[in-house]
Structure 1
Amino acid sequence: YNTGVQGDDWPQWQGPNRDGIWHEQGIIEHIPENGLPILWRVPLGGGYSGPAVTGERLYVADYIKTEGALENNPNNRSLLSGTERVLCFDTTTGKELWKHEYDCPYSISYAAGPRCTPTVHDDRVYALGSEGNFLCLDAKNGKLLWEKDFKKDYDASTPIWGFCGHPLIVDDLVICVVGGEGSVAVAFDRVSGTERWRALTASEQGYCPPTIIESAGIQQLLIWDADNLNSLEPATGRQLWSEPLKPMYGMSIMVPQLGELNGDQVLFASGIGKIGALYSLAKDSPGAQVVWRGGPKNAVYCANSTPFIEKNTIYGCDCQTGMLTAVDLESGDRLWETSVPTSDTDRPAKHGTAFLIRQAPP
């Protein structure tokens, strides 16, 4: 769509800093009655990958099904034959510049295609497929530089809803949520693909992307698996602290969110089954302590979209009610809720999927 402004790069899931903040100016406030003019369109296969944009190139992943019946049943795995692809397009014309594809049988629920948005960094594209195929490609021509197979290399089981943890670049590492004994989190050299460290064992690896926070004067890597919210040292994988936080069905999905309360740093995370907590983070050394836990009628329980914290309020889409919900940061009490952004009817949409992107000046 042409909005009359030139956008900045959006090279990975949730933007340049993985914080879901859009630093643009001159944004239109209302969509014209006849819609926005379409500059180009291209056909794609199925999938949940968002586009990653750097310069004049757009990267996206999809799936071309060749055999099998796709069933959107949350409890059943669809058995499909097909091809996963990573594609690159010219952002001005929509011309396909290259594609990399590989055979990939599926045995997951909601098996439309890849879950992860490609991560683009230093002329390389890092793409994680639904069945644990992790690729490093040359961003210019799509040439395969190195690859990993999480199931074969780490004896990881494919989660019922597929591998979902968008790869994270930290200095000279690319960090992934993998699975298997002692390898829920694995760091690879981002150039060579050599494993640098592995850490954590859990009942399941979960679906939450790895994320970096600054706390207690250092960088901390957060890994929320199916059982615990963990903090690791990014360079080594050494565990700094761990707190039990176990959502139903292993559905640790949302990225834990940092905020400030009464001068102290706090961290919020929640999931399906009304599982959620606010933690106070220690100032002098890495650590976390529960401030409050969610209950039946407070907090907001996020699955399909990540909430955000603005001043003393948490804003998020509740996965049970489908409501956009505001929560008092200090008490966990609900301040208000509305279905306006998440449903086009008066009836709330359970598991509503409104995605929250904030706009802020550059």
Structure 2
Amino acid sequence: MKTRNLLIINVFVLLSIACSSGYAQTISEWRGLGRTGVYNESGLLKVWPENGPQLMWSNENLPQGYSSMSVANGIVYLTGIKDSMDVLVAFDMIGNIKWQTPYGHTWVGSFPESRSTPTVEGDRVYVTSGLGYIACLNAIYGQVIWQVNGYKKFGGRFGSWGYTESPLIVDNKVIFTPCGENTTIVALDKNTGETIWQSKSMKDTVAYVSPLLVKEGEKNLIITITGTYLLVVDADNGEILSSSNYAGLKNEKSIKAWPGAPYTNTNTPIYKDHKIYITGGYDHVGAMYSLSNDFKTLTLNWTDETLDVHHGGVVLVDGYLYGSNWINNKIGKWCCIDWNTGKTMYEKDWKTKGSIIANDGLLYCYEEKTGYIALVKATPEDFAIVSSFQVQYGKGPCWSHPAISNGVLYLRHGSALMAYKIK
């Protein structure tokens, strides 16, 4: 573990102590609060120094994984694998590992590395494992409070790469998607792990999507994608209000890529004003749906063949969708399409595909092959790079999504975590 600038670090330690007092109930989760990938921090650098922003600290001793990071209680949380277990890891604000707790069995097939990003609410943190365990741990000290084998309990059905879901908190419930013959999506009591409700079964296989919570009036809606279906679910009782067969939508090109491609969905949906956008990679079309006012009808508005995002996510900024597409497993381009029409605004080469987040009109694009990250103007006119740099540490693909918290940009590269000062 390497540190930079002791003065800045000491300031951040004091801030972390202040933040941990009282264990605020604000949720820290996958792709930021609300799961949109769009952060809401002020005063961040609009241009980075030539060699990149200041590296405050790094730690190169992470257990292997692709999860992103959540920051709360003056702690950075992520997951990894050790032996046959998924492990929750907690770091202090200068990069030291505070504790590591195994919480469930890992996936045993290809790409077993952990992918569940922790969801933190107050002094509790929620995670899932590759073989479908759901666990709640003490967020300060790391003890397991409860654990449920969701795959076994609900008769789940996983796909080629197990379970990857980042748990969703809705009031007193934690949401998990086992799929299978008995149910599709379930709600557990976040305090005890007991089952509150389980939906009917769509007889489907799990995908790799972390669900979205939408509040329309007094109604809480869960929007997610299984192997086959786009689903809108009543968060109060588990009723599946509407569904659409996304895997069967214009999938001819995708099936040519490989037969399982239309069922390999990874990206959290984007929602605004009763419209839902989803995309899945592998030459499968992206799609925009309108959701009726009673939430019971999904109507297809348009499809798009440009922005087929592999697993790097999408952001909506000022009426345009941004992300990277899939040309093949090693190559992709950076794209912008119109939210209302699906019209392609640009499709540009830069390194290769990767993950994307946004803040204050700027895109943070983290390409997956060589670990470059670019600061890009969010404009439909061009992929306009303002600054870029390459991460210093780590090996393997850069599949972990970036995260921003309190003026710090967190980047993970395999077994390395880096914290950059961007304010």
Q: TM-score per shorter chain, which class?
A: 0.7 to 0.9
Instruction: Name the CA distance, whole Å, in 2 between partners of 1:217 and 1:83.
Output: 40
Task: Report the counterpart of residue 78 of structure 1 in structure 2.
Answer: none
Task: Give the distance between the partners of 1:287 and 1:90, measured in 2 at CA.
Answer: 47
1:319 aligns with 2:329: no
Correspondence for 2:153: 153
**Alignment partner for residue 267 of structure 2, among 245, 248, 254?**
254
Identify, as 1 or 2, the structure richer in helix.
2
- SS of the equivalent of 2:354 reads coil
Superposed, which structure 2 residues align to 1:44-83 within 5 Å? 44-65=62-83, 82-83=84-85
Matches within 5 A, 1:1-362: 11-42=28-59, 43-65=61-83, 82-91=84-93, 93-101=94-102, 104=105, 106-111=107-112, 113-199=113-199, 200-215=201-216, 218-246=219-247, 248-259=261-272, 265-272=274-281, 273-294=283-304, 298-320=305-327, 322-340=332-350, 343=351, 349=352, 352-359=353-360
The TM-score normalised by the length of structure 2 is 0.70
Contact 1:83 1:104 in 2 (8 A): yes
Q: In 2 relative to 1, CA 284–107 (structure 1 residues): closer, same or farther, beyond 3 Å?
A: closer
SS at the partner of 2:357? Answer: coil
Q: Look up the equivalent residue of 2:308 and give its one-letter code.
A: Y
Counterpart in 2 of 1:77?
Answer: none
Secondary structure of the corresponding residue to residue 28 of structure 2: coil
Could you tell me how far apart the structure 2 residues matched to 1:249 and 1:64 are?
Answer: 32
3-state SS in 2 of match to 1:88: strand
Counterpart secondary structure, 1:107 = coil
- Equivalent pair of 2:211/2:269 in contact (CA under 8 Å): no
**Matches of 1:190 and 1:178, distance apart in 2:** 17
Query: Residues of 2 paired with 1:99 and 1:37: CA distance?
Result: 27
Residue 316 (structure 1) shift:
2.1
CA distance, structure 1, for counterparts of residue 106 and residue 37 of structure 2? 32
* Matches of 2:140 and 2:334, distance apart in 1: 40
**By how many angstroms is 1:308 displaced?**
2.4
> How many Å separate the matches in 2 of 1:357 and 1:312?
14
In 2, Cα distance between equivalents of 1:37 and 1:197: 48
State the distance in 2 between where 1:98 and 1:315 align.
Answer: 37
Distance 2:27 2:68 in 1: 10
Mean Cα deviation higher: 278-287 or 45-54: 278-287
| 1:258-303 CA-partner distances (Å, limit 9, x unpaired) | 245xxxx322112133233211222355422111233xxx442123
1:103–1:305 Cα change, 3 Å? closer
> Does the Cα contact within 8 Å between 1:266 and 1:280 map onto a contact in 2?
yes
- Say which is worse superposed, 181-190 or 231-240, in terms of deviation: 181-190
Assess if the C-alpha contact under 8 Å between 2:104 and 2:131 holds in 1. no
CA distance in 2, matches of 1:39, 1:329: 37
For residues 48-78 of structure 1, give each alpha carbon's deviation from its aligned partner in whole angstroms, at most 9, with x where no partner exists. 111211131111111134xxxxxxxxxxxxx
Following the alignment from structure 1 to structure 2, what is the Cα–Cα distance between the partners of residues 252 and 202?
Answer: 16
Quote the Cα distance in structure 2 between the aligned partners of 1:254 and 1:152: 25
Q: Secondary structure at the match of 1:40?
A: strand
Paired with 2:323 and 2:131, the residues of 1 have a C-alpha distance of: 29
Corresponding residue pairs, total: 328
Which residue pairs with 1:71 in the alignment? none
Question: How far is the alpha carbon of 1:105 from its aligned partner?
Answer: 5.6
| TM-score calculated relative to the size of structure 1 | 0.81
1:188 touches 1:194 (CA, 8 Å); kept in 2? Answer: yes
Query: Which whole-Å CA distance do the structure 2 matches of 1:103 and 1:19 have between them?
Result: 27
Q: Which residue type is aligned with residue 175 of structure 1?
A: I
Pair 102,242 (structure 1): closer, same or farther in 2 beyond 3 Å: closer
For structure 2, list consecutive stretches of 5 or more residues without a partner in the other structure: 20-25, 252-260, 363-405, 407-423
Q: Could you tell me how far apart the structure 2 residues matched to 1:244 and 1:29 are?
A: 42
| CA distance in 1: counterparts of 2:106 and 2:163, whole angstroms | 14
Q: Check 1:338–1:181 CA distance in 2 against 1; reply closer, same or farther (3 A cut).
A: same
Runs of 4+ in 1 over 4 A off after TM superposition: 1-10
Decide whether aligned partners of structure 1 residues 26 and 206 sit closer, same or farther in structure 2, where only a CA change above 3 A counts.
same
Distance in 2, Cα, partners of 1:324 & 1:217: 37
- 8 Å Cα contact 1:206/1:253 also seen in 2: yes
CA distance in 1, matches of 2:58, 2:104: 26
Shift of 1:14: 1.0
User: Distance between the aligned counterparts of 1:360 and 1:10, measured in 2?
Assistant: 23
Offset of 1:117 from its aligned partner? 0.8
Q: Which amino acid aligns with 2:49?
A: P
Distance 1:122 1:63 in 2: 25
1:34 positional shift: 4.3
- Residues 275 and 52 of structure 1: CA distance in aligned 2, closer, same or farther (over 3 Å): same
